[in-house]
């Protein structure tokens, strides 16, 4: 995915969100960093940060567009469907903190 942020900026954002956002799969929590999804999510969210402070609606729309493969790729679901609602405030907080610190 093309983005305007440098690799270092994307990695910093990925680290900020990778340990607070998780997939809820059969009541198991798989954090984005463990699922190797933190970098693609950071790349997708970075343009929102460049444009201003992202809203929950904008963030949810981005998460809806990212596919999570299941069963060795036999199926996939939107990331938004696997992330519980209780993660969104933490994600928004991390995005606001990142924007404050890096922009």
44 falls within a domain: yes
Residue 3: the pLDDT is: 47
Q: What local confidence, expressed as pLDDT, does residue 59 receive?
A: 98
Residue 2 lies in a domain: no
Q: Among 5, 38, 47, which residue's Cα sits nearest to residue 19?
A: 38
Say what the pLDDT of residue 49 is: 96
The alpha carbon torsion through 84, 78, 29, 95 (nearest 10 deg) reads -60
In a domain, 1, yes or no: no
Which residues span the domain enclosing 25? 7-102
**Residue position matching structure tokens 């463990």:** 34
62 inside domain: yes
Token look-up 């960093």 returns 33
The count of structural domains within the chain is 1
The one-digit pLDDT tens for each residue of the chain (103 residues) are 444 578 999 999 999 999 999 999 999 999 999 999 999 999 999 999 999 999 999 999 999 999 999 999 999 999 999 999 999 999 999 999 999 999 9
Looking at residue 10, its pLDDT comes to 96
What local confidence, expressed as pLDDT, does residue 46 receive?
A: 97
């Amino acid at each position: 995915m093309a983005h305007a942020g440098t690799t270092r900026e994307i990695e910093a954002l990925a680290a900020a969100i990778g340990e607070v956002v998780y997939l809820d799969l059969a009541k198991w929590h798989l954090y984005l960093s463990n699922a190797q999804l933190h970098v693609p999510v950071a790349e997708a969210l970075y343009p929102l940060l460049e444009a201003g402070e992202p809203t929950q609606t904008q963030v949810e729309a981005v998460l809806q567009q990212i596919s999570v493969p299941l069963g060795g790729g036999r199926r996939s679901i939107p990331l938004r469907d696997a992330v519980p609602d209780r993660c969104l405030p933490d994600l928004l907080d991390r995005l606001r903190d990142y924007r404050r610190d890096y922009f």
